[in-house]
Structure 1
Amino acid sequence: MKLADKYKQVRLQTTTFCNHLNIEDYAIQVVLFASPPKWHLAHTTWFFETFILKKYVADYTEFNSDFNFLFNSYYNNVGNRILQANRGNMSRPSTNEIFEYRAYVDAKMIAFLKNLSDEKIIDLVTLGLNHEEQHQELLVTDVKYMFGHNPIFPVFNTDYNLVKDKNTDTKNIQIPAGIYEIGHQGKDFCYDNELGVHKVYLNDFEIDNHLVTNGDFIEFMESGAYSNFNLWLDEGWTWVNKNNIKTPLYWHKIDGEWHSYTLAGLKKVDEDAILSHINYYEANAFAEWKRMRLPTEFEWEIAASQLDWGKRWEWTNSAYLPYPKFKKENGAVGEYNGKFMSNKMVLRGASVATSQKHSRSTYRNFFNPTERWQFTGIRLAK
């Protein structure tokens, strides 16, 4: 596919999802980590304007000089920005103006891409498209958080019950001890945090080819696990008690039956469906309860070719740290991954909200261990 066609496809996918929103939905920020839809639409556009058009198009006229301040996310090299907590405090610029911004930048980008041959710039555009695909997933999860905390649990779209999928294979996979190569190989796109192919030694281990189900987790809950400090890491136990956590995110007991909020509305919990929306502390406590453990990210990567994966982001027992020979790019692009290698845990795989073909077996996702608004799940090892 030509780069201009790929650009148009990715940008259309973002706006198509938003077609199900009402105008009032675009500016709402329910919580610090979940940005308003309007901000996602503008920020992904700002990326192309800032890193491509303003840098490589000599006669480019900036759409709005305030937008660099409003829609820069965390790139200190690019200038000052609003606080993340204030992304939902903007009734202006209007949503209509944000769509005008997207149309303006898209027209300039498509014209620029038609005759583009510089491999360095092509790589930067490709990074921007993958960046937008990340925000497509964040749009899904942020909108779900917004609607899931609305007291009437509104339906976003009847086709968006994304937590109904089930395991297709329940076998266990045995991996022998040995020295294995870790990291991305090949010339196709990957992020810088996947590079630096290196060897690791793994002891022999067993890993489940299935993910933990809702029914499995109900047993965990009914055993009194959320009040059993013996199962929890110390910081996890503090998190449970400080926030009075009793269930996975979006779960509600109504007339004696468990229900969960989905983007298709409130639904009864299907005990055979795959568990979703738990954090690292909950995943670790469940593994402790089962007298098993979470796999390391290296174990997961080596087993990936034999695993049925892609339905949930899977917590690993690995901290998000640089690979050997990891090197940050100079300037703003170097802020993309490396500066977050602290106090995060690695998740592997992909989820039902991940853009098609966006992930790969070497992909290293990372979140704070308290966070659970993504479509996260549990795979056990021993």
Structure 2
Amino acid sequence: MQLTPTRNILLNQGSVEEKRSEIRDYFLKTYSLYEKLFELLKDEQSYYLTADPLRHPLVFYFGHTASFFINKLVLAKLIDKRINPTFESIFAIGVDEMSWDDLNQSHYKWPRIEEVRLYREAVKVKVLELIDTLPLTLPITWESPFWAIMMGIEHERIHLETSSVLIRQLPLEHVVPNDFWKVCPFDTPVVENSLLHVTGKTLRLEKKRDDALYGWDNEYGLHVKEVKDFKASKYLVSNAEFLGFIEEGGYENERFWNEEGWKWKCYKNATMPLFWRKDAQGYRLRLMAEEIDMPWSWPVEINYLEAKAFCNWKSAQTGKPIRLPSEEEWYVLRDLHVKVDEPFWEKAPANTNLEYFASSVPVDTFAFGDFYDVIGNVWQWSETPINGFDGFC
């Protein structure tokens, strides 16, 4: 089975049997992709390492997405018998650090990896059985039995991304490169960034219950905002552009950081981005399963606090007010340059969806009019946090 590319399922089109087949294929590809990610781990011992102190060992995430299917199917009363109640308990809670989580690993007795593999296989068989036999009418709505199936698939796709970051945080001796997860083989001459004009508009963000695509609850509702004209950078900030912040003492100068950022910087003793390495020969970049010479033309990968500090430094350097874009500004830019949604792509217009590489690419690779990387290449920070729209429930 060719695992990529995949396309989101349109929930309101086609025949019932076509839709069953599409969902079956989407499930199998997603399930297999997730398991293939864990093939990057060198051995069984690697599954029990805690890549981040605020996360469980990787064995938890290997089992979590399968247990999520069963727990949601039980909740939806689509099945009345669990596959492994113990697994469906220990793999259920602790994805992100929360006040009720217990991250003391001495309190857990994690199963052997072969047991988890067998569990995942049993879950796969059960989900496929349901896809083949559950009553299906179109459109698929919140009330449809297939909504729980779609939720499980999309949930696993989220963890495909987030678990890749945890693997990237493991010591190199616990991972092995895999040709499936292709690394961009080229760097390019560094381009000079600039700010380009974007015309504002009245932005309407809305997702209705009868939308053709699956959505998480916080996506629904209505949000209308008058967005003024603004300027946005032509390119994402590259590693080379961010190096200027480092070399001019950005990590040592408290005035560039907000209170939370400075506390984080001091707590972590941060002097560079998480995945940067420095030795006598210069800078290198940690990828999922290897380190490479620093690709200066690739986008820098930093957290929100570092991004804000960089913008403050850039403001001081240029004498212009520079900040992260708001969510609404990002959508205005996207609406101007991304005219076709993902289900209708013949080929992805950006480095996304594993259609090109499992790493970043140079910031001047994918053009959207005068801009580059309006979507894709890396997760992009906004100044405003995610929030529910009017009508969110």
The TM-score bracket by the shorter chain reads 0.7 to 0.9
1:10 and 2:30 equivalent?
A: yes
The corresponding residue for 1:190 is 215
2:64 aligned to which of 43, 49, 64: 43
Check the 8 A contact 2:38/2:62 in 1, yes or no: no
State how far apart, in whole Å, the 2-side matches of 1:153 and 1:105 are: 27
The answer for the alignment partner of 2:83 in structure 1 is 63
Residue of structure 2 equivalent to 1:281:
305
Distance 2:192 2:105 in 1: 43
Rounded Cα–Cα distance in structure 2 between residues aligned with 1:94 and 1:74: 19
Partner of 1:244: 269
Residue identity matched to 1:106: K
Given that residues 69 and 82 in structure 1 are in contact (C-alpha distance below 8 angstroms), is that contact kept between their aligned partners in structure 2? no
In 1, are the aligned partners of 2:94 and 2:103 still within 8 Å (CA)?
A: no
CA shift at 1:131, angstroms? 0.2
2:384 to 307, 318, 328: 318
**Residue number among 138, 144, 165 corresponding to 1:141 in the alignment:** 165
Q: Is the 8 A contact 1:195 1:323 kept in 2?
A: yes
Paired residue secondary structure (1:15): helix
Question: Aligned AA for 1:295?
Answer: P
* Paired residues, number: 317
**2:93 aligned with 1:73:** yes
Alignment-mate amino acid for residue 314 of structure 1:
Q
Q: CA RMSD in A?
A: 2.9
Displacement, 1:209?
3.3
Q: Check conservation: 2:49, 2:57, Cα contact below 8 A.
A: yes
Contact 1:213 1:272 in 2 (8 A): yes
Contact 2:59 2:110 in 1 (8 A): no
- The answer to which of 64-73 and 183-192 deviates more is 183-192
| Letter paired with 1:229 | E
Unaligned runs of 5+ in 1: 76-80, 328-382
Q: Map Cα deviations across residues 330-361 of structure 1 (whole Å, 9 max, x no partner).
A: xxxxxxxxxxxxxxxxxxxxxxxxxxxxxxxx
Matches within 5 A, 1:62-211: 62-73=82-93, 83-86=101-104, 90=108, 92-118=110-136, 119=140, 120-147=144-171, 155-157=176-178, 159-161=181-183, 172-184=195-207, 186-211=211-236
Is the counterpart of residue 20 in structure 1 residue 44 in structure 2?
no
| Aligned equivalent of 2:327, options 297, 301, 305 | 297
TM-score of the aligned structures, taking structure 1 as reference length: 0.75
Shift of 1:41: 2.1
User: Residue 161 of structure 1 contacts residue 263 of structure 1 at CA under 8 Å; is this kept in 2?
Assistant: no
Task: Give the corresponding residue for 2:12.
Answer: none
Amino acid aligned to 2:29: Q
- What per-residue deviation string (whole Å, max 9, x for no partner) do you get for residues 285-344 of structure 1? 1111111110001110111132522111111110232221111xxxxxxxxxxxxxxxxx
Could you tell me which residue of structure 2 aligns to residue 261 of structure 1? 286
Distance 1:137 1:161 in 2: 15
Residue type at the aligned position of 2:161 = E
Letter in 2 for 1:15: E
Separation in structure 2 between the aligned mates of residue 83 and residue 11 of structure 1, nearest angstrom: 26
SS at match of 1:318: coil
Superposed CA deviations along residues 17-56 of structure 1, whole A, max 9, x for unmatched, are 2223222211211323343332112111111111115754
Instruction: Give 1:226's aligned residue.
Output: 251
Under a length normalisation based on structure 2, what TM-score does the superposition of the two structures give?
0.73
Deviation at 1:5, TM superposition (A): 2.4
Letter in 1 for 2:26: K
Residue 134 and residue 98 in structure 1: after superposition, are their counterparts in 2 closer, same or farther (change >3 A)?
same
How much does 1:170 deviate? 5.9
Letter in 2 for 1:135: H
Corresponding residue number in structure 2 for 1:335: none
CA contact (8 A) 1:260 1:267 kept: yes
Gaps of 5+ in 2: 1-20, 316-321, 338-367
Of 241, 250, 268 in structure 2, the residue corresponding to residue 216 of structure 1 is 241
SS in 1 for 2:251: helix
Q: Structure 1's 192 and 87: CA in aligned 2 closer, same or farther, altered over 3 A?
A: farther
Identity of aligned residues (%): 23
Q: Retained in 1: the 8 A contact 2:284–2:291?
A: yes
CA distance change for structure 1 residues 87 and 174 in 2, over 3 Å: closer, same or farther? farther
Residue pair 1:173, 1:207 contacting (<8 A) in 2 also: yes
Check whether the contact 1:184–1:196 (CA below 8 A) recurs between aligned residues.
Answer: yes
Give, in whole Å, the separation in 2 of the partners of 1:73 and 1:136. Answer: 17
